[in-house]
Amino acid sequence: MELVVARIGRPHGVKGEVTVEVRTDSPQERFATGNRLITDRDNPSELVVSAARVHAGTWLLTFQGVLNRDQAEELRGVMLSSEVDIDAGSEDGSFHVAELIGCQVIDSGQELGEVDEVISLPGQDLLSVKTTQGERLIPMVKEFIVEIDRESKRITVHLPEGMLDG
């Protein structure tokens, strides 16, 4: 599955290095030297990592063929994706956030809606669910999430009465 792993930020220095906004839980693996990252643009359609490092808490990447600040500036805002085997190393009950998008949410046998987005917050993630009444947010905590069935694309929840009233 192709997943977004980063967004290119501003150039860093004059030799083509760029900052990246990390969107993966495995940056060391995704940004390893020699990895090919798919861009959301046609030219270039992919970039090959030639160096990666962390400076003051920010990931800095250098790509083959990007040799100066002007070339790095042209990449600002580019989304980077990688082919990820979401089943590799999975344990029972584990899932990848991308697998939740499009899942039907069921509470007490009643369909509430479809997961439109997963919002990551410091305390917990939230499921953004499209319902007939509009967007509803459900905290991803054990008290509310009963089961996540990856195969059936179904999330069973048990919510307190009135929680989704808006």
Whole-number Å distance between alpha carbons of 100 and 82: 18
pLDDT (tens digit per residue) in 53-62: 999 999 999 9
* Pure H helices in the chain: 27-30, 69-74, 97-100
pLDDT in the model for residue 92: 54
Three-state DSSP state, 29: helix
Residue ranges covered by each domain of the chain: 2-83, 97-157
**Fold category of 97-157 in CATH:** SH3 type barrels. (2.30.30)
Q: Domain spanning 2-83: which superfamily?
A: RimM (2.40.30.60)
Which amino acid is located at 21 in the chain?
Answer: E
Averaged confidence pLDDT in the chain: 89
Phi-psi label, residue 100: left if phi above 0, alpha if psi -120 to 50, beta otherwise? alpha
pLDDT (tens digit per residue) in 14-49: 999 999 999 887 899 999 999 999 999 988 799 999
pLDDT (tens digit per residue) in 61-116: 999 999 999 999 999 999 999 987 655 545 555 677 778 999 999 998 899 999 99
For the CA atoms of 3, 5, 8, 11, what is the dihedral angle to 10 degrees?
-150
Whole-number Å distance between alpha carbons of 66 and 53: 16
